[in-house]
Amino acid sequence: MPDPRATDPTSPVCEVEDLTMHFGPVHAVDGVSFRVNRGQVLALVGESGSGKSTVGRCITRLYKPTSGTVRLTGTDVTGLSRRAMRPHRRTVSIIFQDPASSLDPRLSVADIVGEPMRLQGVDRAERSDRVNEMLEQVGLARSVLQRYPHEMSGGQRQRVSLARALVSRPSLLVADEPTSALDVSVQAGVLNLLADLQRELGFACLFITHNLSAVEYIADDVAVMYLGQLVEQGTREQVFTRPRHPYTQALLSAAPVADPDQQRERRRVVLSGELPSPLDPPSGCRFHTRCPVAVDICRVEVPALRMIGSQSAACHLVDDEGNGPDVRDRTVATSTRGSETG
């Protein structure tokens, strides 16, 4: 039997090309391209305000992109109306950060989980069987079927969201910061569950987060966004062991490490300033106002996202072999001077 989790590069579930999303003068996403293959978990990483959630909403067509293309299992869904999009709702599902606001408070768990199937015309008996099966898969007892969202804990509500999102067996799940609104004590349980379900059911996943520990745990590949653009992409191992872009290096330097000795020894990059406004993004490389190694060309010329082997990075100082600065070499130890990268 084929491994349901096998990543298949010949079978993209989602292809995003030159995606742009402007909200009036706000350039939330500008020219983003990537693909998610069958069975692959691609983490989309960046600070709050980087545009990563907007990308997720464009893919699920909660937003209509300003330009560019979104293809789901080979079909261009970019310009589809709500009605024309309906058949593709089985292909892609989304879960959000805060299940308290994303679940309809007037519906019971049975109705919340069964609703996508009801809209697809699945009969009541089959709906009931599949709801029961799905609840078991997300680790909830049948006794919750008649409860309402406000009667459940945050972790239970997120399990209900997962059950609802997966009940129609989508090819792609967009998980938008799925654990960051939960108590720390239940985050790991929900993340483990998501990883187990992904292995078991084999869906592809766009995992949107700022939590690099979660990325290391769950992702096959990583794409890093800064101010509406992709700045680096590669396998998890490539990005974690040899980040090429100064922004990725800064993000990694600020992520917590489990080993206390390593944590003490590590150097943390001090990024100056706040994330600039997407209303008026900086010229040239958008990161130049905060980049510790910026040079003159960075202020005037936009660096292309170039392939370096199977990894890619958008930085003028990274050569075709992938050699370039590591901003972590230029900084002071955390124990003497700490700062946020956001």
Which residues bind to ligand SF4, rule: CB under 6 A? Answer: 245-246, 285, 287-288, 291, 293-294, 298, 303, 315-317
Tell me which residue of 48, 47, 46, 57 sits closest to 23, measured CA to CA: 57
DSSP states of 118-174: HHTT--HHHHHHHHHHHHHHTT--GGGTT--GGGS-HHHHHHHHHHHHHTT--SEEE
- Other CB atoms within a 10 A radius of the CB of residue 332 amount to 13
- In the bound complex, what is the minimum distance in angstroms from residue 311's beta carbon to ligand SF4? 15
For ligand SF4, which is the closer residue by CB, 193 or 285?
A: 285
By DSSP bridging, strand 75-76 and strand 67-72 are antiparallel
Rounded-to-integer distance, Cα 249 and Cα 256, Å: 13
Q: What angle do CA 160, 162, 164 make, to 5 degrees?
A: 70
- In the bound complex, what is the minimum distance in angstroms from residue 322's beta carbon to ligand SF4? 13
User: Which tokens belong to 299?
Assistant: 């202020």
Return the H-helix or E-strand segment holding 340: none
- Other CB atoms within a 10 A radius of the CB of residue 149 amount to 21
For ligand SF4, which is the closer residue by CB, 142 or 330?
A: 330
- In the bound complex, what is the minimum distance in angstroms from residue 118's beta carbon to ligand SF4? 49
Q: Is 11 helix (H, G, I), strand (E, B) or coil?
A: strand
For ligand SF4, which is the closer residue by CB, 188 or 293?
A: 293
- In the bound complex, what is the minimum distance in angstroms from residue 241's beta carbon to ligand SF4? 19
8-state DSSP, 43: E
User: Which tokens belong to 145?
Assistant: 């079927």
- In the bound complex, what is the minimum distance in angstroms from residue 305's beta carbon to ligand SF4? 11
Backbone angles phi, psi at 33, to 5 degrees: -130, 135
For ligand SF4, which is the closer residue by CB, 85 or 293?
A: 293
Instruction: Give the contacts of 242 (CB within 8 A, at least 6 positions apart).
Output: 311, 322
For ligand SF4, which is the closer residue by CB, 187 or 311?
A: 311
- In the bound complex, what is the minimum distance in angstroms from residue 302's beta carbon to ligand SF4? 9
For ligand SF4, which is the closer residue by CB, 89 or 242?
A: 242
- In the bound complex, what is the minimum distance in angstroms from residue 180's beta carbon to ligand SF4? 26
- Give the amino acid at 14: C
- In the bound complex, what is the minimum distance in angstroms from residue 330's beta carbon to ligand SF4? 12
210-221 as b/e: b if 16+ CB within 10 A: bbbebbbebbbb
- In the bound complex, what is the minimum distance in angstroms from residue 290's beta carbon to ligand SF4? 8
For ligand SF4, which is the closer residue by CB, 175 or 250?
A: 250
For ligand SF4, which is the closer residue by CB, 207 or 226?
A: 226
Instruction: Give the contacts of 132 (CB within 8 A, at least 6 positions apart).
Output: 142, 145
For ligand SF4, which is the closer residue by CB, 41 or 250?
A: 250
